[in-house]
Structure 1
Amino acid sequence: MSTVANAQAGSRAAVHTPFLTPGTRVATALAVLLAQVGLAIPAVLNGLFQEDLHTTSAQLTWISDAFLVPVTLLELTFGVLGDLFGRKRLLIGGSLLMAIGEGLSVLTPRAGASNTGAISLLWTGQALTGIGAAVIFPTTLAMVAAGTHTVRDRARGIAIWAAALSSGGFVSPLLGGLVTKLHWGGSETAVWRWAFVAVGILALISMAVATLAQNSSAPEGRSLDWGGQITIAVSLFALLFAVIQGSTWGWSNGWVIGGFIAAVLFFALFITAERRSPAPLLRLELFRSRAFSVNSIITVIGMFAFLGTAYTTSIRLSAIQGFSPMKTAIAFVLLQGFALVLMPLTAKVIHSYNPRWALGGGFLLISAGDLWAATRPASDLSIWPIVGPLVLIGIGFAFALSGVTAVAVNTVPGHLAGMASGTTSQLRDFGFTLGPAVIGAIALSRAATDIQNKLAASPAVQSALAAFDKSAPPEVAGAVHSGPLGANAIPGNPLKALAFAALDHAYAMGYVVCGVAALVAAVLAAAGLSGTGHRPLVTEESLAD
């Protein structure tokens, strides 16, 4: 009988962990749902952030990325800490950090003459929440991997974990929509703070439930590896900083160019540090496996495509069309709800068939949905034109997420579960972080160029703008941050009508970019994972060769 346990039997370092207890299953599922709720909650509130805090486009992007950047930087590190000191402690601590971070976010004041202080406090709160999520994502997956010892049990455990993570993606907008709809004595724009209150309460509940989980660890051969942690953190931060700020400062800006150079330099230092370390943060030998290497590339590209799609959809519905948070939430239910509904089917597929079918088919559906959505104009002020595309994307994501997770975890020896979980989580969330950053940069640059060209070519529009006391060509952010550009904002205002059309076309291009990325991921899965079954493709013996 082919089992994960059999492949691990020859490894002296493998640490036996009992089968998952019900308390561990509930605790890991609730915690990863919490982390994903925290990640996704800002997306549905983008329109309210703009109205209440008067954010620029760059500030709006950094609200989400203040959460995502520490997640991306620290997941490998917390994978090590869980192996060394026990994953149950980290699970409890991660939930506590998220509760504290959401509490800080709630204290964000309304913007006065300057919004700098308010935005800075919100960024700080979201960054601390992101650190908590960076603890939770690899810790929960490592606990599932350590407590499942057969292919069937691991497939079921991964499917439940993936369904809980994806469920957080649609629970968060429903939660955001509900609290903003109730108002609770606040103004319509200011009540977004109650959404963070709700997430903080969920974090405290998760912390309490985590006390019921079983502990696991795998300390042999693991160390803090400070050289590896510092170099990879600096490299990723420099890259993300350059990508995010490039759209605002310009790609020829010295700081942006310096960011890209620093990213390459420190990544080279990371490789050097890992080769010399006796207990590396990431064993580079893992990439000798074609399946592991290809799956790593697929994870980054595919998750970029998915969260880029979610970001594009959020901006289209909330900031451009002016939909309420509750109406915007419908889109996120379609995007991420299918992972829960299809959980028995995804578990069966990744257990019974080659994982490349789940991966390739899932990303192919995401690509088709994105390219279909790109043809639906935002001028039709209804959600119905994009319901079909979002259904395709949601079904595709259910299979793709389970597939990339299964390949990553099943292709390494059991005692490297923490490393594999940390690597998979970091690659997934690196792709997630790139999604809003790259799509935002492409869309806003395209929209700004479109507006400037139309202003220069149309004296009639310039005359109309003069009547509105608009004496200079606006930045896209200036056209947007005064409020959503939906139907009620357009009549009689040529500036907003112009911005509406420009942003509609720009974010349609965002769907196209995501669709192409998802298609690339599907092709890589079909071509690069042929022959991949359920056996571990990296063993302790192959690592030593």
Structure 2
Amino acid sequence: MTLNNGTAASQGPTAGAARKPGYAGTLAAACGAVFVAQVANALPASLNGLFQQDLHTHGSQLTWITAAFMIAVVCFEFTFGVLGDLFGRRRLVVAGTALVAVGSTVAALAPDVRTLWVGAAVNGLGAGAMFPGSLTAATAVTRTARERSQAVALWSGFLSAGAALSPLLGGMFAEVGSWRGSFWVLVGLALVSMVLTATLATESREPEGRKLDVAGQITFALGLILVLFGLVEGPESGWTTLPVVLSLALGLCFLAGFVVVELGAQSPIFDLRLFRNRAFAVSSVVAVVGMLAFLGACFTTSMWLGPVQHQDPLRVAVPFLLLQGPAFVLVPVVSRLLHRVPAAWLLTSGFAAMAVGCLLGARLDVHDPGLGPFVAPTLLIGVGFALTVSSVTAVALDSVPRKLAGMASATTNMLRDLGFALGPVVVGAVALSGAGSAFAASLAGADLPVHQLAAAREIGEA
């Protein structure tokens, strides 16, 4: 099977004189916006250990910090794509950065983990507007497929740069103050991005045939929230408990209703006809699976070094430079490869590298506090991610007509972020279930006094 993103044969002027007015400013603003959005996403990664110590978290509470952000992103990314097409992508990005500033303020002032969830969710709403808005704004000022692939590669590079530098930023400010200072820095970055977008970016819209799909938004949001709630709470509360079973069952029903609603909608937020395009359909499936694996690996690394080993936040940040850094460093390489190499080769190579990295990571010793063993696994995963993230986006956008670029952008971002949302949830569910089973099995053969054994069983059941 060969995917062809159509850029290899595309020729056209790419010199500055041939570019649309506002190209450089819009691209700079879009890259700055996605950088800030991804900083908001990745910031908790190096701080999970500090959250646990300061806010006394337990079980799935740390998972919910990441999940609250990603659920907000995924649930409303479709509607934000429509709002950008109707009212302007620049306005959408400015509104999104304002929400990130508000959410980061809430997180910085959070007295407990539940307030931190609220801040993460508001940040997720802001990022949910910034991801599709910035990507569509950047591609709207390109003239040729080659320009578009270069813009997508640069945008993807800054997305990864935000994720790579965010843990380092969090670790540095946690060292000189507390984790709260990291969120105040994010407030400042959001305000700067908002000013840059308002002053540099060119406004673009594509309102023809686009309108809000309220029924689709409601059924999708309820379905996804309920399913993810069941997946997060299942390992801790028990997979057969009534709340978990009901949330999973009702969530699947709402998602089925969402499909029915979208098939009959005049202006769907998720046009299922896009999947008639083979290249778009395949890239969508691999986006979900590949990003699930990638962010699952990132979440595992964060939990391994933070809450489990209680390592210094700056040390926790080091593996993330290798996980996320290659996607930024390799921007020029990936940009050239996007219009010279078939997309299937890039995707296959990238996922193969990620798979090998994950297998090597699974063989690491959790009792070893050294960072050296992490170098090879994280670097392989990072290079694999660099080859896949831009390829998936470019294939999706190049395979649909320009008038559907806004919807395709929102759909591609949503599917990528759905994989990101599922990564920590699935990894957390597997880890907590496995830990609970191992703990119970160990108690059966433990030579403990009766009162200590009873206390241990209560802890295991909690």
Query: Shorter-chain-normalised TM-score: which range?
Result: over 0.9
TM-score by length of 2: 0.93
> Is residue 56–residue 477 contact of structure 1 (8 Å, CA) maintained in 2?
no
The within-5 A match list for 1:19-34 is 21-34=23-36
SS at match of 1:452: helix
- Deviation by residue 1:226-269 (Cα, 9 ceiling, x = unmatched): 11111111111111111111112111122212222222222222
Aligned counterparts of 1:464 and 1:249: Cα–Cα separation in 2: 25
Q: State whether structure 2 residue 377 is matched by structure 1 residue 393.
A: no
> Is residue 362–residue 398 contact of structure 1 (8 Å, CA) maintained in 2?
yes
> Is residue 7–residue 338 contact of structure 2 (8 Å, CA) maintained in 1?
no
Q: What does residue 65 of structure 1 align with?
A: 67
Aligned counterparts of 1:73 and 1:243: Cα–Cα separation in 2: 16
The within-5 A match list for 1:489-508 is none
Q: State whether structure 2 residue 29 is matched by structure 1 residue 45.
A: no
- Deviation by residue 1:331-363 (Cα, 9 ceiling, x = unmatched): 100000001111111111111111111111111
Aligned counterparts of 2:10 and 2:378: Cα–Cα separation in 1: 41
Q: What does residue 116 of structure 2 align with?
A: 122
Q: State whether structure 2 residue 189 is matched by structure 1 residue 198.
A: no
Q: What does residue 230 of structure 1 align with?
A: 218
The within-5 A match list for 1:391-470 is 391-459=379-447, 462=448, 466=452
Number of matched residues?
A: 449
Q: What does residue 272 of structure 2 align with?
A: 284
- Deviation by residue 1:59-96 (Cα, 9 ceiling, x = unmatched): 11111111111101000100000000011111111101
> Is residue 8–residue 340 contact of structure 2 (8 Å, CA) maintained in 1?
no
Which one-letter code corresponds to 1:225 in the other structure? D
Structure having the higher Rg: 1
Aligned counterparts of 1:215 and 1:270: Cα–Cα separation in 2: 31
Aligned counterparts of 1:262 and 1:148: Cα–Cα separation in 2: 43
The within-5 A match list for 1:317-336 is 317-336=305-324
Q: State whether structure 2 residue 250 is matched by structure 1 residue 262.
A: yes
Among residues 469, 473, 477, which one is paired with 2:457 in the alignment?
473
Q: State whether structure 2 residue 104 is matched by structure 1 residue 105.
A: no
Aligned counterparts of 1:390 and 1:423: Cα–Cα separation in 2: 28
Which one-letter code corresponds to 2:83 in the other structure? L
Shift of 1:3: 6.9
Among residues 253, 256, 259, which one is paired with 1:271 in the alignment?
259
SS at match of 1:241: helix
Aligned counterparts of 1:329 and 1:300: Cα–Cα separation in 2: 25
Which one-letter code corresponds to 1:84 in the other structure? L
> Is residue 90–residue 135 contact of structure 1 (8 Å, CA) maintained in 2?
yes
> Is residue 105–residue 184 contact of structure 2 (8 Å, CA) maintained in 1?
yes
Q: State whether structure 2 residue 159 is matched by structure 1 residue 171.
A: no
CA spacing shift, 1:475–1:344, aligned 2, 3 Å: farther
Q: What does residue 493 of structure 1 align with?
A: none
Aligned counterparts of 1:371 and 1:358: Cα–Cα separation in 2: 20
> Is residue 33–residue 93 contact of structure 2 (8 Å, CA) maintained in 1?
yes
Shift of 1:20: 5.2
Which one-letter code corresponds to 1:40 in the other structure? A
Shift of 1:122: 1.3
Among residues 296, 311, 331, which one is paired with 1:343 in the alignment?
331
TM-score by length of 1: 0.79
Aligned counterparts of 2:147 and 2:449: Cα–Cα separation in 1: 68
- Deviation by residue 1:22-75 (Cα, 9 ceiling, x = unmatched): 211111001001000000111110000000010012111111111111101000
SS at match of 1:424: helix
- Deviation by residue 1:388-422 (Cα, 9 ceiling, x = unmatched): 11111111110110111111111111111110111
Q: What does residue 540 of structure 1 align with?
A: none
Aligned counterparts of 1:206 and 1:4: Cα–Cα separation in 2: 34
Which one-letter code corresponds to 2:184 in the other structure? V
> Is residue 299–residue 424 contact of structure 2 (8 Å, CA) maintained in 1?
yes
- Deviation by residue 1:305-352 (Cα, 9 ceiling, x = unmatched): 000000000011111122111000001000000011111111111111
Runs of at least 5 residues in structure 2 that lack an aligned partner in the other structure: 1-5, 12-18
Shift of 1:149: 2.4
Runs of at least 5 residues in structure 1 that lack an aligned partner in the other structure: 8-16, 110-117, 184-190, 479-545
Among residues 266, 282, 296, which one is paired with 1:294 in the alignment?
282
Q: State whether structure 2 residue 262 is matched by structure 1 residue 312.
A: no
Q: What does residue 488 of structure 1 align with?
A: none
Aligned counterparts of 2:103 and 2:261: Cα–Cα separation in 1: 32
Shift of 1:19: 5.8
> Is residue 231–residue 425 contact of structure 2 (8 Å, CA) maintained in 1?
yes
> Is residue 292–residue 407 contact of structure 1 (8 Å, CA) maintained in 2?
yes
The within-5 A match list for 1:522-541 is none
Aligned counterparts of 1:442 and 1:162: Cα–Cα separation in 2: 30
- How many percent of aligned residue pairs carry the same amino acid? 43
After TM superposition, the runs of 4+ consecutive aligned structure 1 residues lying more than 4 A away are 2-7, 463-466
Shift of 1:465: 9.6
Aligned counterparts of 2:90 and 2:206: Cα–Cα separation in 1: 13
* Superposed CA RMSD: 2.1
Aligned counterparts of 2:94 and 2:8: Cα–Cα separation in 1: 28
Among residues 132, 137, 158, which one is paired with 1:143 in the alignment?
137
Q: What does residue 194 of structure 2 align with?
A: 207
Aligned counterparts of 2:304 and 2:67: Cα–Cα separation in 1: 19
Which one-letter code corresponds to 1:93 in the other structure? A
Aligned counterparts of 2:254 and 2:443: Cα–Cα separation in 1: 43
Aligned counterparts of 2:417 and 2:20: Cα–Cα separation in 1: 29
Shift of 1:158: 0.7
Which one-letter code corresponds to 1:71 in the other structure? V
Shift of 1:458: 2.5
- Deviation by residue 1:486-534 (Cα, 9 ceiling, x = unmatched): xxxxxxxxxxxxxxxxxxxxxxxxxxxxxxxxxxxxxxxxxxxxxxxxx
Among residues 83, 89, 92, which one is paired with 1:90 in the alignment?
92
> Is residue 83–residue 222 contact of structure 1 (8 Å, CA) maintained in 2?
yes
Which one-letter code corresponds to 2:117 in the other structure? W
